[in-house]
Amino acid sequence: MEAMDRVHVLTEPNRTFRPTSSYSGAWLLDPEPFHTEFDQLYAGIESSEGLTRLRWAATQTWRSTDVVTHDYVDMLRTESADDWEDAYDEKHLADWYRVLMASYVEPITAIKTPKALKERLPLLGFSASESRRLAYGRELQGLVEAFGSLPVVAQIAPFLSIGSRGWLSQDDVESALNRLHGLDRTIFRDAQELVPMVEDLHAMLSAARNQPNSVVLLLCD
């Protein structure tokens, strides 16, 4: 569990609820090693020792003071480590799956206004579904189905559907970049407000293309 080496535990974390203002973030995740570690942790889930080990790993990560880890975990809509310790609930497995990704993520440029991007990309010829996918990503259900073991998929995928934001595959990245590179630049003359949004999107996708073994994680309100 080398990726856990950077986790520094904060004994009494000062975590508060996120304000209602808009937020967004993007990270690269190397899915193969992450899912290998998670599958190993999950393999012991039927025993009390195995369940405790998985919960402990997630709790240590949730309470980490590492800046990258903290910033990522702080944006997740999950229950807290205190909630996990009070009583076990099946849905906690999806929380732990998402939290434990923190040890494998690298922050990249995020789209600052996902909602605006979703609404405005069709002006550049993108379909409504393509625009939504680039703004919010695919549901995480597809990520665990693509990389997780069959037992993990069966247990966790149902909790990672609507509202769990979001990921893009390398195929998504390549397709979108090709579309952007093929745009007629004159289209922006009468749509200057699109320029910063497209620049953010291009920067995010280019960072992902430079690390072809990674997928993009997206979080936003």
Encode pLDDT of 11-53 as tens digits: 444 444 343 335 789 999 999 999 999 999 999 898 999 999 9
- Alpha-carbon distance of 28 to 217, in angstroms, equals 6
- Alpha-carbon distance of 179 to 131, in angstroms, equals 12
- Sequential DSSP letters for 35-104: HHHHHHHHTTTTSHHHHHHHHHHHHHHHTB--HHHHHHHHT-----HHHHHH---TTHHHHHHHHHGGGG
The answer, yes or no, to whether the previous bond of 166 is cis (omega within 30 of 0) is: yes
Tens digits of per-residue pLDDT, 177-220?
A: 999 999 888 888 877 888 899 999 999 999 999 999 999 999 98
Average pLDDT over residues 171-181: 96
For residue 5, the one-letter residue type is D
Domain ranges of the chain: 25-220
pLDDT reading at 106 higher than 90: yes
pLDDT reading at 4 higher than 50: no
Q: Which residue has the higher pLDDT, 114 or 4?
A: 114
User: With pLDDT > 90 as the criterion, what percentage of the chain qualifies?
Assistant: 66
> Encoding tokens for residue 121?
């990309």
- Alpha-carbon distance of 78 to 80, in angstroms, equals 6
